[in-house]
Structures are given as structure tokens and as C-alpha cells.
Amino acid sequence: MQFNRLRIPLFVIASFLFGLKTYFVYRFMFDLSIENALQEFILFLNPLASAYLVFAISVWLKPKNQLRYLRWVMIIGTIILYLNLVFYRNFTDFITIPVLFQGNNAADLTSSILTLIHFEDLLLIVDIIIVWVLSKKLDEPAVIFNRHAKVAATAITFLLLAGNVVVAEIERPMLFVRAFDREYLVKNIGVFNYHVYDATMHTKTKAQRVFADGSEVNRIGSYMKEETGSKEPSEMFGVAEGKNVIFVSVESFQNFLFDTEINGTETTPFLNDLKESSDTIWFKNFYHQTAQGKTSDSEFIVENSMYPLDRGAVYFTHAQNEYNALPEILGNNGYYSSVFHANNKSFWNRDVMYENIGYDHFYGEDSFEETPENTFGWGLEDKEFFEQSIPYLKDQEQPFYSKFITLTHHFPFELPEDRANIDMYDSGSQTLNQYFQTARYTDEAIEEFFADLKEAGIYEDSIIVLMGDHYGISEFHNNAMSDFLGKEITPYEHIQLQRVPFMIHIPGYEKGEVREEVVGQIDVKPTLLNLLGIQDKKDLTFGSDMFSEDRKNFIAMRDGSFVSDEYIYTDSICYERESGIEIPPAEEACQPIQEKVDKELQYSNDIIYGDLFRFYDFK
């Protein structure tokens, strides 16, 4: 046997094969972006270093246990790698420990998960089969080292890891200090070392609440009032005073859908007209700011004007914290508040969070009549959802604040053929192909909802806010998106694709307009309070009233990217916002805002992890 003559230890072979497989997954299945030769070298080095670290442990075991150890480590490592791959295909992100505690959500993800499993995934077991066969064929598959040889084998591990970290810090200075971007961490230290880092950070943040005190909240509060608080109410103060607020969170809807056609048919005819209506104010440069919590993150941002967590979802990890949320403030000003969402109440821990932040009632899955005819995809289809909600809406005390969360336009965007009123798009991405059909269906559902509100006598006494909760098409589908849009999806274009609808429809207003300001979900809370004529001078927010002349001039993404009136910053590159022209690093045009972004993201984390609002008197 060739390997016997070369005397290559099986743990070395296993390390090389597993590391090579991991590099292949990084490069061609995660499709991690590579910008230079150093990044390519790091991406190749870190899986080999990580694999050698784990497999070299086997030299300290008895010969009969070595093979068992190698086999099981390869299987477990492959499972971890594959779970991250499936997760990445949906969320363009990597698993964190808080996400694992949200595992009960997986029961509602069955159909979505099946679309994320590809035939080529079988390649991930090739190295396992090779090592298994070699362990049976080789005469001496185990190794017997003396103590000095074992130490030497282990020392190589630390040399590899140290070299990996040094080169990574050269390529990405302060990698572990500014760890907002998990993809950068994985590219530089590998998915397995990243999970070790994540576990360390999880332990640290759990301890943060225990040792927190009230000294921090005053300092952070002073910053929030100085940097984000409008000094005077804007011109729109009280325009909707006393009116009901009907807030529709439109699932997975992105602005690129507007004014598009598939084979001559408009994708969203109703919303196309609504955004140009004389009663509608449309913010065309409105960005979602969600992270791993997706829809629950969008809810958290809107309700609290704070950033989501960089790991996991606040709705799960910190649902019992003290907040000064929008429903609670409205409740103190005479509003009845409710949520309509045809999903089970425990999904994203909503039943716990909603009660904590002041909602009076949650109309969940058990409040609706579901049948095989009106249920597909993620549950009750949007047309039935809105129609069945009207009687509840009519019975509510007025004025009310009611939030509706749609379901039909949710990944994987499944729609029965007889419900589709637009052709399926034709591209290499099944997800994008189906995306236009469910978008059209939700557009029709919203149009019918407007008609039902008018018939029920609710429309005239209400303002209707429509907001996209987060992206629907991830970076995994960039090739298909590039073909559809007719341009390359660069990091700059990717940020621009994070624009989602935000329309404020005020019946009888007659002063509708298209607004150009750069705004985001973090600005919704102060904007709605301003429209309703409510001033809460004790409130603390990271957002600004969108209509204010002295509003904050940037919005931050959870990964440290930002959009300002002049610049877009992402992937460590600064661009001119309007032209997309890259600005040389030497000019440091983005640095002043970047420093504020880092500070705000850290302050928001400090508030949530330390539950600092328990030390602050909002009354």
C-alpha cells in the first residue's frame, strides 16, 4: 500500500482532506468574496490549520481509539459545516449560539429547508468515505508516537493557528474588536474557530447583565439625546393626531420590485400607484436594518428605535428586558394596540415580547380560520388574512395602533399555480423566479385590504403605514439578480438593494410626495410619534424624525455598513452615494461617520446585554 510506504499518518491525511473540503465549501458553496491574493491565501490556510488542530489530538489517544476519534470528528465537523451552509443559503449569514436557542422555529421551516438542500451537497461526504476506507485498508492506520513526537505534532498546531491569526490581522486590522461582520471572521479564522469565538462572546454577554449598573445608561442617554434627538417638532407634528395607525409589515419586499414587469405584466400595480398618490408620502431611500432576527428584528427596531443584536434575535434572547417601546408610549396616550399575524404565538417568542412592550392583544394563528384552500407556503394567505382581520379591527377601541405582518411573500415564495396572476420569471434562480409571483399576490391582497377598510368605515379615520421588513433575495442569488437588473451586484449595489418600501398613506392629505432623505427602520418610532402629535421628552432613541430638518444624516447596518446623505460604506470600501464611485482610503471621507456608527452599535449592544433601561426612569 502506497500510504504505508510513505508512512503518512492517517490524521495528517484526514486533516488535509477535511481542510481541502472546507476550503472548497468556503470558496464555491458559500461563495465568499475574495478581493486579493492575501485573502485567498488566508481562506486556504485557515481550514487546514483548524482541521490539523482537531485531528492532531488523536496522537494522544490509544491506537484503538484513534480511528474512532477521526471518524466521528469528520462526521461531526461535516454536520457543523453543512448546517452553516444551509443557513447561509437562506440568510447569507452564519449560525450563532443565540440562533441555536431559536431551534423551535425550525418546525415552521420544513418547506424552506428542502429548497436549500442541493444535490452537489453529497460531495461533502467524499473525504469521510476516503478516510473510512483507508482506516480499513491500511495495515497500520493508527500512529504510536513517543512523548516528544506528540508534543512536536501538537506544536505544529499552534504554529499554524498563530500564523493564521497574524496574517488575518495584517489583512483585517482589529478583526476581533470590530467583529460586526461574521463573514469577515469566517474568511479570516474559519467557521470552526468562529464558533469558538462566538461561544466566548456568548458567555461574556451573559455576564454583562449581572455586572451592569446604572452609571452607563446616563452617558449613553446623553449621547442619544444630543446626536439623534430633534430639537423641535417637525412641520408634520400632529398631522395625524387622534387617528388610528394601521401598520403593515410587508414580508420580504424590496424596492427593486417597483415599476417592474414580467412579460409585459406589472409586478406590483397597486403599490406602484399608491407610492405616487396625492395622499401618500413615500421615502424612496428607506433601508431595512435587520440582522439574524429578520422580521422580529424589524419589529424590534421599529418599536424601540434601537439596533438589533449582532448575534441572535432580541425577541428571543432579551425579551424580558425593560424597554420604552412604541406600543407602551401610545398606550399611555390613549391608544389601544394590537398585532395581527397568522402564525403561532410562540414563533420568535412573540407572545412573551409583545406583552412586555405593551401590546394589548395579539391575534395569532388561533384567531383565524385556516383551511387547505386558503393556506399555503408559510400559512394563511394574505388575502384571507386581511379579510378575516377586518371584524377584529372594527371591534377595537379607537384610536388604535394595529400592526399587520404578512406571510405569503415569504421565502421560498411558494404560490399555487391557480393563484398566480403574473408569469414566473425565467432565470437560474428558482427563488428569484417565484419571488415576482408572490409579490404580485401580496400587492393584490393589500389593494383588497384598502377596499375592505373603506367598506368597514375605518379608512378615513386612519393612517396606513406600509413597510418592507427585510430583504427577500439574498446575496446567494446575485448572478440571477445581476441578469435581471442588467448590472453587476457589487458591494455598493448590494447595499442599494437593501432599500425597502416605506409609505405613509393619510386619507384626504392631498400633499403626497416622494422624499429623498436617507432614512431607515430606526427612524420609524420618532416619526410616527411626531405625526400623532405625541412628545415623550424622556424617551431615548437612536433614530430621528424623518421629517426633521436636523435629523441624523446616516443610517447604520448591523454589520457596520452605513448609508449617509453623501456616502455608502460597506466591506471596508467608501463610495459616493449617488454615483457609486469608490473613494480612496487615504481621503478618509467615511471615517467620521464610521466612528459614530461603531459607537452607536456598541451603545445599543450595551443597553440590551446589560438591560440598562431598568436603571432609567422614563416616567
Q: What phi and psi values does residue 36 have, to the nearest 5 degrees?
A: -155, 175
Count of residues in the chain: 619
Q: How far apart are CA 198 and CA 116, in angstroms?
A: 24
Instruction: Determine the 3-state secondary structure of 244 from DSSP.
Output: strand
Would you say the pTM of this structure is higher than 0.85?
Answer: no
Cα dihedral across residues 367, 369, 374, 378: positive or negative:
positive
Q: Name the strands in the sheet holding 562-564, side by side, starting at the edge strand that comes first in the sequence.
A: 554-556, 562-564, 567-570, 573-576, 582-583
Q: Which residues in the chain come in under a pLDDT of 50?
A: 1-6, 107-108, 180
For residue 63, the one-letter residue type is: P
Q: Do β-strands 567-570 and 562-564 pair in parallel, antiparallel, or remain unpaired?
A: antiparallel
In this structure, what is the dihedral angle of CA atoms 129, 130, 132, 138, given to the nearest 10 degrees?
A: 160
For residue 612 the three cell numbers come to: 440598562
From the list 16, 42, 43, 41, the residue with the least C-alpha distance to 27 is 43
The pLDDT value recorded for residue 342 is 93
- Beta bridge partners, 563, equal 555, 568
The pLDDT value recorded for residue 1 is 41
Peptide bond into 412 cis (omega under 30): yes
For residue 37, the one-letter residue type is: A
Q: How far apart are CA 232 and CA 48, in angstroms?
A: 58
In what helix (H) or strand (E) does residue 223 lie, and over which residues does it extend? helix 215-227
Q: How far apart are CA 12 and CA 156, in angstroms?
A: 12
Residues of the chain within CATH 3.40.720.10 domain(s) are 215-552+593-615
- Beta-carbon contacts of 122 under 8 Å, excluding residues fewer than 6 positions away, are none
DSSP assignment of 484-534 equals: HHTS---HHHHHHTTB--EEEE-TT----EEE---EEGGGHHHHHHHHTT-
- Beta bridge partners, 338, equal 361, 402
Active-site residue set: 295
CB 466 within 8 A of CB 273: no
CATH number for domain 215-552+593-615, candidates 3.40.720.10, 3.40.50.2020, 3.40.50.1260, 3.30.1130.10: 3.40.720.10
Q: How far apart are CA 7 and CA 60, in angstroms?
A: 18
Cα dihedral across residues 584, 589, 595, 597: positive or negative:
negative
**DSSP-derived secondary structure letter, 27:** I
- Beta bridge partners, 282, equal 503, 514
Tell me how many degrees the CA angle 562-567-568 measures, rounded to the nearest 5: 40
In what helix (H) or strand (E) does residue 568 lie, and over which residues does it extend? strand 567-570
CB 311 within 8 A of CB 292: yes
390-442 pLDDT tens trace: 999 999 999 999 999 999 999 889 999 999 999 999 999 999 999 999 999 99
38-52 pLDDT tens trace: 888 888 888 888 888
For residue 292, the one-letter residue type is: Q
Instruction: Determine the 3-state secondary structure of 277 from DSSP.
Output: coil
User: What distance, in Å, lies between the first and last C-alpha atoms of the chain?
Assistant: 79
Q: How far apart are CA 227 and CA 225, in angstroms?
A: 6
